Structure 1
Amino acid sequence: MRRIAWVFVVILGIFAFISGCGEKSPEEVVSDLSKRSEKLESYKSKGKMTIHTGKTPQAYEVEVWFKKPHFYRVSLKNTKKDITQILLRNDEGVYVLTPHLEKSFRFQSDWPENSGQVYLYQSLLESIIDDSARKLTTSEKSLQFEVAANYPQNQSLKVQRIWMDDDYNPQKVEVLNDEQKLMVEVLFDQFEADPSFDKDAFDMERNMIGLAGRSVPTLAEKKAAGKKKDAVRVLTPEWIPEGSKLAEEKTVDTPRGKTVIMRYKGKKPFTLTQRNPEAIETSIQVYGKPIDLGYTMGVLLEMDGKKRLSWTYEGTDFDLYGALQEKEMIKLAQSVYGQDSK
């Protein structure tokens, strides 16, 4: 009788242990994510981001470094063109660096506090924590969250699916539009929590020359080799504001080389210029903010109440200015991606 009682106690103990090790509730998972967000001192991540908004998908290698309280280094490399752009934040400000063009812009900005990015771990955590309507699906190897996409610079992104492992490390992200069409995908190859960094890892000068030296020739080197092209590769935006139309297109010679000027008329007239990029050896202090266009980083400048959006894509410098709202400028710039040249 005692033996039977003892076996019964053991069985109850095993059952209690198994029950205690069962799946966590959604509330417990969110609590864990909140604690991790608060305690995480630094991280490194690597992955591949694919943009599906153009005629053909375009892939980028993405590497993110973060160190509390506000140090960021985001490297975006176009794998097809072998061109790297770096978004950097340190005590001096926020920088958009294009090392192969020797071009840098510096801002006084709180980026990325008010503009989440799909490749930033903090943005993914916040989107899960803040969405009370989140959906959680569990499997043996991962957790899948479905939450609202909150990316002010791209209003077409509506829903995102986020996969994490049991340690809450990111595995994959899919961002969809309101028609459930895949727009952006990020596959994380590596994620390291609380790594150490070199003292100058977030220094602007070090990142301009490359952490391991330049990997591609600079524009100045290409000029010296006589490889600079005079012809401008002209791209036409797929989207323009309703009621606007192209009124004039001409090519002019300027101190910065040949420039294609496209003037649009309508209720909101604007001008789009395109030119071959030019090396800029100095860091320019500007009043504005970095703009994530998905396929590249843009620079939104504000001077005398007027806005100008500048960006580089497919070997061409673009400048957009006129009577457009910020969201319209971003939408137009994003529509240049994936277009065929004339």
Structure 2
Amino acid sequence: MHRRISWIAAVAVAMVVFLAGCGSKNAESIVKDLDKVVDKMESYEGSGTMILHTGQQPLEYKVEVWYQKPDMYRIALTNAKRDITQIVLRNEDGVFVLTPQLNKSYRFQSDWPDNQGQVYLYQTLADSIIKDNSRQFATDKDTYVFDVMAGNYQNGSFARQKIWLAQDDYSPKHVEVSDANGNKMVEVIFNTFEFGKKFDKSAFDMDSNMGVTPGSNSKPSEGAPSPGASASPDASAAPDATASPDSTEAPDATASPDGQPPAEEEPTPAQNTSFSLIEPDIEALPAGVELLDQTDLQLVDNPAYMLRYTGSYDFTITETPARVEEVAMNEGDMLDLGFTLGHMTEGAVRTLTWTYDGIKFRLTSEDLENPDMVRIAQSMVDSSGK
């Protein structure tokens, strides 16, 4: 009798193990499901925290992502430490980088994000998993974990990424991107993620995203700001999206042999403001590079600064007050800086332009590579300037 009971117990345990095995999924079946999810996906909304680990101190941002099929995007990136929000917006009119607090907007002629991956976009993460046939797979509590190549990003320093997906609906939970040495470069922790989100018609409208009011947690689609927004500009004050031929730009260090900005460059009256020089973190500079000189400039009533670096690489950084007007950048590519999108113009001399906290930066070099440019730009975010 005892043997009979033991035999029945053994059979029961075997059945449980068998059924558990039948209920589990392998990487191939999940990839097929993931492909279907992306194909049928109409919209989503996600929010969480993004941490950039590329400098001495991690840079932390609140990130909010909206997507509406076929190609409408809204990404709000908020520097919690400095309460600065920038919004990357794609709609029928183009791609925009908005700073609501300062009533500044810039338009790009770009097919972003189709031509580059973003660590906070679901399409990028799913595509990375689906296309990497050498993917590594594991389970962790209620998530599926994929370790895949990070080849769909602009930053050449990104080598691999680990992506955690919820087992019940494949929504993203956590992303870690590392370099070839296994050092963590970027991390995104999703607090919420909802497929099939219904957005108001104005959710991806530029004026609605610029016309925010302080102290509200409502979404711009409901007539209020994204988290961290702290200004209420008049949307009717925004000029035409196309920049005029004589639009004032920041000084270009390559405009003359001595690196001085053109004399005719003048700011608009609305620019009358002052700011302090912002220098990149020494640790972010390529090995063998040092500061050559610093020049204080004056453009009518506004200061401007120029830093020249030399050594293993030569480059120049210029800083000016950002214009209120929206500028259409007709040539070049968008470069993901993590905290915002920059504008890269190629040629014998390459120039990376970005705007942050009311200051326009230009990094110009003949030999500096993109990862170094990104690292330098990121190191200047938390410096006190304005």
Structure 2 partner of 1:156: 157
Cα 1:50/1:236, change in 2 over 3 Å:
closer
Q: Which amino acid aligns with 2:112?
A: W
**RMSD of aligned residue pairs (Cα, Å):** 3.0
Query: Deviations for 1:247-274, whole angstroms, at most 9, x for unmatched residues?
Result: 3211111137111111234686432112
Aligned 8 A contact 2:279 2:383 in 1: yes
* Deviation of 1:181 (Å): 2.0
Deviation at 1:147, TM superposition (A): 0.8
Letter in 1 for 2:278: V
In structure 1, runs of 5+ residues without a counterpart are: 1-10, 221-227
Alignment-mate amino acid for residue 176 of structure 1: S
CA 1:32–1:250: 2 relative to 1, 3 Å: same
> Are the counterparts in 2 of residues 54 and 339 from structure 1 also a CA contact under 8 Å?
no
Q: Is the 8 A contact 1:99 1:208 kept in 2?
A: yes
Greater relative CO (CA pairs within 8 A, separation 6+): 1
TM-score by length of 2: 0.74
Residue of structure 1 in register with 2:306 after alignment: 261
- Tell me by how many angstroms 1:333 deviates: 2.7
Shift of 1:133: 1.0
Instruction: Provide the secondary structure at the position in 1 that maps to 2:23.
Output: coil
Over 3 Å counting, the alpha-carbon distance change for 1:279 and 1:209 in structure 2 is farther
**Partner Cα distance (1:15, 1:247) in 2:** 71
Q: Distance in 2 between matches of 1:245 and 1:55?
A: 18
Of 331, 354, 369, the residue aligned with 1:287 is 331
Distance across 2 between alignment mates of 1:183 and 1:267: 24
Distance of aligned partners of 1:321 and 1:16 in 2 relative to their CA distance in 1, 3 Å threshold: closer
Amino acid at match of 1:196: K
The correspondence for 1:273, drawn from 312, 318, 330, is 318
CA–CA distance in structure 1, aligned partners of residues 230 and 208 of structure 2 = 15
Residues 153 and 330, structure 1, Cα contact 8 Å, conserved in 2: no
Partner residue in 1 for 2:99: 98
**Which structure: greater strand fraction?**
1
Instruction: Give the Å deviation of 1:312.
Output: 3.3
195, 198, 202: which is aligned to 1:196?
198
| CA displacement at 1:47 relative to structure 2 | 0.8
Question: 1:199 is paired with a residue of what secondary structure?
Answer: coil
- Deviations, residues 19-71 of structure 1 (Å, cap 9, x unaligned): 68521121111100111111111111111111122222221111111111111
Distance 2:117 2:303 in 1: 37
Aligned residue among 174, 177, 181 for 2:176: 174
Percent of residue pairs identical = 41
Paired residue secondary structure (2:34): helix
Equivalent residue, structure 1, for 2:117: 116
Quote how far apart the aligned CAs of 1:316 are: 3.9
Question: 2:102 & 2:364 partners in 1: Cα distance?
Answer: 23
Q: 2:342 aligns with which of 298, 303, 314?
A: 298
